[in-house]
Amino acid sequence: MANHLRFVGRTVMVQNGNVEAAYGVLSRILAQDALPEALRRSRYREQPSRARRRRAFETCRRLYCAEMGRRIAFLARSGRQDPWPGC
């Protein structure tokens, strides 16, 4: 199991006894996985209206980020023809 990529990618090593730095790295990894937010949400009951609003916001953000990523990849691709030659 230690050779599994997700496990290896989320392994934090303490170097030279510097536990504070390792804890910071671990906190950053967990924040990228949105684990602290999920724990905070599950600790208390979320009102249905707020849950709908949060899910709608997450959906809109996911669609926006996907569209912007697609547009940036389109503009940043290499080997494309100049749309305005001679300008």
62 exposure class (CB count in 10 Å sphere: 0-12, 13-18, 19+)? exposed
For the packed helices 19-32 and 35-43, what is the interaxial angle rounded to 10 degrees?
70
pTM for the whole thing?
A: 0.55
Q: How far apart are CA 85 and CA 73, in angstroms?
A: 22
**pLDDT tens-place values along the chain, 87 residues long:** 455 666 666 788 888 989 999 999 988 888 888 888 888 888 889 899 999 999 999 999 999 999 999 999 988 888 877 778 887
| Residue where the block lists tokens 């547009």 | 71
